[in-house]
Amino acid sequence: MPRRDVYDRVMDTFNRFDGVRVAITGGTSGLGLALVDELHRLGARVAFVARTAERVNHVAREHPGAAGIVGDVSRKDDIYPIALQVTGNLGGLDVLVNNASSLGAVPLAPLADTDCEALELALATNLFGPFRLTKALLGALASSARQGRGGVVVNISSDAAVNAYPQWGAYGASKAALAHLTRIWNEELAGEGIHLISFDPGDMDTPLHALAIPDADPAALKRPETSARELVDVIAAALARETAQVVT
Amino acid sequence: MIAATSPVQRPRGAKLLVVRADGELVHAPRSSFVEFLNRGDLVIANDAATLPASLHGVHLPSGGAIEVRLAGYAAGSRADAPRFVAIVFGAGDFRTRTEDRPLPPALAADDRLALGSLVATVDTLLDHPRLVSLHFEGRSSEVWAGLARHGRPIQYAHLAEPLAMWDVWTPMASVPVAFEPPSAGFALDWAALRALRDRWIAFATLTHAASISSTGDPELDRRLPFDEPYEIPRATAAAIRRAKARGGRVVAVGTTVVRALEHAARRRGGIRAGRGVATGRLGPSTCLRVVDAILSGTHEPDSSHYQLLRAFADDDTLARASAALEAGGYLTHEFGDSMLVERTRPACADAPACYWLSNSPTTLPSVSATRA
């Protein structure tokens, strides 16, 4: 890519994220961490959520100004404490990225060999977690939308939500449900100026992928940084569309 | 009136008493609220989320058990370094009526209070053994984490079960700055917003840091509400100007919205967007400049909320409304029934309709800044 294009793209993106308030779940590894990196670099005000205090503190130290929040989106009782810290630290919210995901069964297993508890875990993390957290933060997102700052929710999807891959039953079913929930909710909230988007980042070299397919060749997988940049462009486009609508 | 004792924001049978501008009283299901509004009206709600402002712990100098209720923001408070006004109780919890709660150990400036993972330091005493200003030690993100883990919503003895955060955040709850829920907003859900839109009724929000509503101590209660910071977004100020210009009414959802809007409009130039601190009480001597009607909970005549209603309607009308609430078995307190009071008293003489038609200060009538 010619250098000039790179410069324009960076400056353009930078301006679009200066001061934008973003919350990312699963923000200490894989795609979530790459998103924290990218958005922090672009001037966004970032809050990220993950389960392990040590990891949260480590990532927070490496991203001055970002707010690290310890919490587990699969636990109902963690949702409001997370929402309180997100809106408290950021003073509102413009973008929520529901990225934290669980495979359910590890190692992957055919559905007939999948424990009910494993399916429940996949649903709790990949469906109920995003539903509950989005619902708790909907007031903040709608307030942002009314003020012309946008209001965007990204739910991380997968091609396993569409295709019937053997062994991916718990994960695939939960992601399919999430994708459908995203479409319906997006219809319902259009009047509030809130956009819900499904984003499939592709097969990435992440800890989650390594758990699923331990012997995959990392060189054949997408870098999470690449997917993060693609997602940032998607978010920027959604924000631009929404702020343009409010102005007119 | 009987207190509503279960924390359901939108019970199926919720009732609405409408006090019309001509003094007529109408009983209706609260779910029909939108039918009492007109095309072109503007509904404004308070989108403040509620802090888990009740913190149990220990007064470190004495070792005595205490409950701290964060009650408002102290003078000089900043977003990145908040200072709070707090009510401090001795041992016990919400199950004991606040009137019966023991005093805390004797408090002094610089006393440290251990509240879960949080440590607070008393800044000053505020002329009452229960009332102090304080701040928390540590970075802002640590304070939020401590509040999230250890704090509980403030509640009173009329509710038997402990409240959860989801009980007190309205559907529109955004930034956590309120010490008790702006509970009039419980009446509105997302379907209601949709119904407003379908009828060409506008909706906007402001953020008002509602302070504590009751302390159990008559002397302290007379000092309520405390000074309350608020923020009116530019989009909301613009929506008010548009509504007034087309002859629509401004309908406030809750007393906090009235406080913020009337404070922001107290000087010439109409409503000002931005931040302010609402001080003082609104009451029978207030003339309203912005708000034309209020959707509110039902309030007993001895409360500051009821005093605010006197800015909308004369005492005879309010007395008839109170009798109708009593006779109709309406429930009171934060999870109770609602009333919609249209302004029967005249608006400020210095706020004619044309006042709103222009943003240009040069065309405004000369007004003197009357304080509420």
Task: Compute the distance between CA of residue B342 and CA of residue B175 in angstroms, rounded to an integer.
Answer: 29
CB nearest B148 (choices: A84, A189, A191): A84
CB contact under 8 A, A139 and B140: no
DSSP, collapsed to helix, strand or coil, labels residue B304 as: helix
Selected for mutation to probe chain B from A56, A84, A86, A242 (highest B CB count within 10 Å) is: A84
Average pLDDT value for residue range B289-304: 92
CB contact under 8 A, A82 and B205: no
pLDDT in tens, A131-168: 999 999 999 999 999 999 999 999 999 999 999 999 99
**What's the length of chain A?**
248
CB contact under 8 A, A84 and B165: yes
In DSSP terms, B231 is beta-bridged to: B207, B275
pLDDT in tens, B90-118: 999 999 999 999 999 999 999 999 999 99
Q: Where do the structural domains in chain B lie, given as residue ranges?
A: 2-50+163-363, 54-150
pLDDT in tens, B343-366: 998 888 765 444 444 443 333 333
CB pairs < 8 Å spanning A and B: 88
CB contact under 8 A, B165 and A80: yes
Contacts of B50 in chain A (CB under 8 A): none
Interface contact B197, partner A, CB < 8 A: yes
The answer, yes or no, to whether the previous bond of A107 is cis (omega within 30 of 0) is yes
CB contact under 8 A, A87 and B175: yes
Output B214 or B351, whichever has higher pLDDT: B214
Residue B256 reports pLDDT greater than 60: yes
The answer, yes or no, to whether the previous bond of A201 is cis (omega within 30 of 0) is no
Q: Which helix (H) or strand (E) holds A25?
A: strand A21-25
Q: What is the mean pLDDT of chain B?
A: 92
What six digits make up the tokens of B330?
């309406």
Q: Where do the structural domains in chain A lie, given as residue ranges?
A: 3-247
CB contact under 8 A, A81 and B149: yes
- Residues of A annotated as catalytic (active site), given as ranges: 171
CB contact under 8 A, A143 and B235: no
Q: Which fold has domain A3-247?
A: Rossmann fold (3.40.50)
B80 pLDDT tier (thresholds 50, 70, 90): confident
CB contact under 8 A, A147 and B140: no
Interface contact B190, partner A, CB < 8 A: yes
Interface contact B193, partner A, CB < 8 A: yes
Selected for mutation to probe chain A from B174, B199, B200, B208 (highest A CB count within 10 Å) is: B174
* Beta carbons of B297 and B337 less than 8 angstroms apart: yes
DSSP, collapsed to helix, strand or coil, labels residue B207 as: strand
Residues 6+ apart with CB under 8 A from B207: A143, B46, B47, B48, B174, B175, B177, B230, B231
Average pLDDT value for residue range A77-83: 98
pLDDT in tens, B109-155: 999 999 999 999 999 999 999 999 999 999 999 999 999 999 999 99
Q: What's residue A12's pLDDT?
A: 58
Average pLDDT value for residue range B216-244: 94
Task: Compute the distance between CA of residue B211 and CA of residue B10 in angstroms, rounded to an integer.
Answer: 23
Q: Which chain B residue's Cα is nearest to A132? A: B166
Torsion on CA atoms B65, B69, B70, B74, rounded to nearest 10 = -80
CB nearest A67 (choices: B141, B171, B190): B141
CA angle A19, A24, A27 (to 5 degrees): 120
Selected for mutation to probe chain A from B175, B230, B275 (highest A CB count within 10 Å) is: B175
pLDDT in tens, A198-214: 999 999 999 999 999 99
Q: Which fold has domain B54-150?
A: Thrombin, subunit H (2.40.10)
What six digits make up the tokens of B41?
């009206």
* Beta carbons of B53 and B178 less than 8 angstroms apart: no
What six digits make up the tokens of A197?
């988007």
Q: What is the mean pLDDT of chain A?
A: 93
Q: Which chain A residue's Cα is nearest to B235? A: A147
Contacts of A142 in chain B (CB under 8 A): 172, 174
Distance from CA of B316 to the nearest CA of A (A): 38
Residue A128 reports pLDDT greater than 70: yes
CB nearest B176 (choices: A84, A142, A143): A84
Residue B13 reports pLDDT greater than 50: yes
Average pLDDT value for residue range B196-206: 98
CB contact under 8 A, A84 and B144: yes
DSSP, res B78: B
What six digits make up the tokens of A238?
């959604």
Interface contact B235, partner A, CB < 8 A: yes
ipTM (interface predicted TM):
0.92
Q: What's residue A70's pLDDT?
A: 98
Task: Compute the distance between CA of residue B90 and CA of residue B202 in angstroms, rounded to an integer.
Answer: 47
A3 pLDDT tier (thresholds 50, 70, 90): low
Q: Which fold has domain B2-50+163-363?
A: QueA-like (3.40.1780)
